[in-house]
Amino acid sequence: MTEPLSIPSVLGPDRGPHRVLGRFRLSRLAERSILPGFPLALGITLAYLGVIVVLPLTALAVKPWELGVSGVWAALSEPRVAAALKLSFGVSALAALVNAPLGLLLAWTLTRYAFPGRRLLDALVDLPFALPTAVAGIALTAIYAPTGPLGAQFAKLGIKTAYSPVGIFIALVFIGLPFVVRAIQPVLQDLDREVEEAAQTLGANDLQRMVHVVLPAVAPAMISGVSLAFARAVGEYGSVVFIAGNMPLKTEIAPLLIVIKLEQYDYAGAAAVGLAMVAISFGALVVINAAQVFLAGRGRR
């Protein structure tokens, strides 16, 4: 009667099941990491995040507590600080929401229509990216001041543009619009027009095609552009400080208040305002990213 062969006798003395399984795992790992240089790339990534991102944020989170819990609360509960935070985040959110339909309209025009000067208009969209913020602020102030060409026309209607929250809103729309346009434009270029034509053959009108075909496709990109515009607007300083008027409790933005506290050598108070801005911005971006993931999941269904 023949004895059953054991696993070691089949695999050999040096090819036991654990050794074979280990080689199988190594081969699978090699298949997953085809590109070389993973340790170096990971090391550079972690070093960059640690030095450029984590370390400054850690210092910002630690510095305010030199005042103690009561001192931080007192610094943030000042009417001037509360008014500056409310103005910065409120106007930034409003400007980002207004940029959503404006950016969609401009991206649609640049993508779907051919007209003279389209390339020039496409290049002008990126102008707020390249224009120094101080130059943008001076230009907007000259245009929307009470004696400026547009500011004088608004003044006749009883609307004060420069040196008011309206001027801050105009500046934030100006610097945030390119983010929305450049986020939506590639999606519209890749959107299959046959889907729109199929909806048209099924009897959908222009509004129905826009609502049920185009908007679901561009919604994640639009939200991404809006979040970028909002993040840029919250920390904007140069293009706003000239047109705002910088009146405490009225048109003073949070970044300017941080600069004022630094000039007064109140580093802990400035860090407290900065920490509050980071916390509010992070919470807002988490909500925006959750909405983006939700819409992207619905679009794949």
Higher pLDDT, 150 or 14: 150
Q: How many domains in the chain?
A: 2
Q: For residue 89, count CB atoms less than 10 angstroms from its CB and return exposed for 0-12, middle for 13-18, buried for 19 or more.
A: buried
Classify residue 199 by its DSSP letter: H
User: 62 in a domain, yes or no?
Assistant: no
Query: What six digits make up the tokens of 117?
Result: 């000067």
Residues 84 and 21 in one domain: no
Classify residue 64 by its DSSP letter: G
Q: Give the Cα separation of 240 and 234 in Å (integer).
A: 11
Return the CA Rg of the chain: 28
Q: What average pLDDT does range 152-174 have in this prediction?
A: 92
Residues 168 and 218 in one domain: yes
Mean pLDDT, all residues of the chain:
84
Residue 100 is part of a domain; what is its CATH number? Answer: 1.10.3720.10
Higher pLDDT, 209 or 89: 89
Residues 25 and 71 in one domain: no
User: 26 in a domain, yes or no?
Assistant: yes
Residues 48 and 96 in one domain: no
Residues 109 and 254 in one domain: yes
Residues 45 and 169 in one domain: no
User: 2 in a domain, yes or no?
Assistant: no
Q: With 70 as the cut, is the pLDDT of residue 203 above it?
A: yes
Q: What average pLDDT does range 235-256 have in this prediction?
A: 90
| 301 pLDDT tier (thresholds 50, 70, 90) | low
Q: What pLDDT is attached to residue 26? A: 46
Residues 82 and 51 in one domain: no
Classify residue 126 by its DSSP letter: T
**Cβ within 8 Å of residue 174, ≥6 positions away:** 128, 136, 140, 239
Residues 52 and 192 in one domain: no
> How many Cβ atoms are within 10 Å of 94's Cβ, its own excluded?
17
Q: Give the Cα separation of 87 and 247 in Å (integer).
A: 12
**Cβ within 8 Å of residue 276, ≥6 positions away:** 76, 81, 85
User: 193 in a domain, yes or no?
Assistant: yes
Query: What six digits make up the tokens of 184?
Result: 């939506």
Q: What pTM, to 2 d.p., does this model score? A: 0.80
User: 241 in a domain, yes or no?
Assistant: yes
Q: With 50 as the cut, is the pLDDT of residue 217 above it?
A: yes
Residues 13 and 86 in one domain: no
Residues 25 and 143 in one domain: no
Q: Give the Cα separation of 84 and 276 in Å (integer).
A: 12
User: 12 in a domain, yes or no?
Assistant: yes
- The domain of 15 spans 7-56
- Tell which residue, 135, 132, 160, 167, has the closest CA to residue 146: 160
Q: With 70 as the cut, is the pLDDT of residue 22 above it?
A: no
Residues 49 and 76 in one domain: no
Q: With 90 as the cut, is the pLDDT of residue 84 above it?
A: yes
What is the helix (H) or strand (E) element at residue 90, kind and residue range? helix 79-112
Residues 250 and 220 in one domain: yes
Query: What six digits make up the tokens of 154?
Result: 């608004």
User: 72 in a domain, yes or no?
Assistant: yes
User: 1 in a domain, yes or no?
Assistant: no
